[in-house]
A and B are shown apart, each in its own frame.
Chain A
Amino acid sequence: MRKTITFTNEPNNSTSATTPSVSITSAAPAEKSLDKTFKVINQMVTDGVIESYALGGAMASLFYTEPFATFDVDTFCFINGITNELDPLRPIYDYLRPRKVPEYAEGFIIEGLRVQFLPVFNPLNDEGVQTAKSFSVNDVIIQVMAPEYLVANMLETGRKKDHTRIAQFFEAAVCDTDKLNDILSRHKLKSKLEALQKTWDAL
């Protein structure tokens, strides 16, 4: 059974017309929260570093089903100002480094949470970012990849833990079946789902 969600009307896909300039501090806040982290990311959109984004990966799942264990906030994004396709995160580094935002591996620790910026790298996550759903968390708008695209991405990545997560999405019945089938057909992922369903049926 689908969960009912409260809807409110907001301007079209904007992070907020009146988003104040957000100062970024390198100190991890005592109380970490997604809205604090995304306030910074929304500011990056306002400042033109990121064109648009969608929270994906395991952290996105908490908006639709039970949270999965994860260490990162995977943020798929269209990044502005990429001059070298082999170094697509450069504009983000150029924005966050002067602001002394702590780094780890290929990511940043923004307001205490590990954020992995992932430039959109294929048509599937391109669509996923363009059709992201908006959620408000403590008055901060967070763009989250739709559940159908999360499932499609997990099918494409195809790790065993992705298969487990897909099963949880199906059990929670949060995907629009027609929309999912359309996405899987267009991105040639139907056979992967069929193969996965066969393994479930065999159990």
Chain B
Amino acid sequence: MKKYPDVSQILAKKALSRKALEQLPVNEKIKIMETLSKVAKQARRDAKAVNMPSKQVPKSTKVT
């Protein structure tokens, strides 16, 4: 079975970071959301799907 790294600490810190963001003053949250909203709009406007053959996972592959 393929071994994967332990990400429990990373995910725990991510959750804490999210809680910290929840505590931000409203005007700070608005600034962040405005920035991300601009980023999202621009990416959606400019994004084009590119036809690169991706590695297909065979349906018969067993996941253990």
Asked, given contacts A33-B39, A86-B6, A116-B14, whether A132 binds B54 with beta carbons under 8 Å apart, the answer is yes
Across the two chains, which residue of chain B brings its CB closest to A61? Answer: B40
Instruction: Determine if A199 is an interface residue (Cβ-Cβ < 8 Å).
Output: no
Contacting pair A121 B5 (CB below 8 A): yes
A residues within 8 A CB of B59? 182, 186
Query: Considering the chains assembled together, what is the distance between the CA atoms of A101 and B32 in angstroms?
Result: 19
Query: Considering the chains assembled together, what is the distance between the CA atoms of A5 and B44 in angstroms?
Result: 11
Query: Considering the chains assembled together, what is the distance between the CA atoms of A120 and B7 in angstroms?
Result: 9
Across the two chains, which residue of chain B brings its CB closest to A54? Answer: B54
Across the two chains, which residue of chain B brings its CB closest to A62? Answer: B40
Q: Which of A135-181 contact B (CB under 8 A)?
A: 135-138, 141-142
Contacting pair A63 B47 (CB below 8 A): yes
Asked, given contacts A119-B5, A122-B4, A182-B59, whether A137 binds B47 with beta carbons under 8 Å apart, the answer is yes
Chain A, interface residues (CB within 8 Å), range = 35 or more
Query: Considering the chains assembled together, what is the distance between the CA atoms of A11 and B53 in angstroms?
Result: 9
Contacting pair B56 A131 (CB below 8 A): yes
Query: Considering the chains assembled together, what is the distance between the CA atoms of A122 and B2 in angstroms?
Result: 9
Contacting pair B54 A113 (CB below 8 A): no
Instruction: Determine if B43 is an interface residue (Cβ-Cβ < 8 Å).
Output: yes
A residues within 8 A CB of B40? 59, 62, 67
A residues within 8 A CB of B38? 32
B residues within 8 A CB of A63? 43-44, 47
Binary contact track B44-58/A, C-beta < 8 Å → 1, others 0: 101111111111110
Asked, given contacts A105-B13, A131-B57, whether A9 binds B51 with beta carbons under 8 Å apart, the answer is yes
Contacting pair A8 B50 (CB below 8 A): yes
5 contacts between A and B (CB under 8 A): A34-B43, A62-B44, A106-B17, A134-B51, A137-B42
Chain A contacts to B: CB under 8 angstroms: 5-14, 32-35, 59, 62-63, 67, 69-72, 79, 82, 85-86, 88-89, 104-107, 112-113, 116, 118-123, 126-127, 130-138, 141-142, 182, 186-187
Per CB-CB distance, the 9 closest pairs between chain A and chain B, nearest first, are A88-B5, A105-B17, A67-B40, A134-B50, A106-B13, A5-B49, A7-B51, A121-B7, A134-B52
Inter-chain pairs besides A34-B39, A89-B10, A105-B20, 19 sampled, C-beta below 8 Å: A6-B49, A7-B48, A7-B51, A8-B48, A8-B50, A35-B46, A88-B10, A105-B14, A112-B35, A116-B10, A119-B7, A119-B10, A130-B54, A131-B54, A131-B56, A137-B46, A137-B47, A182-B59, A186-B62
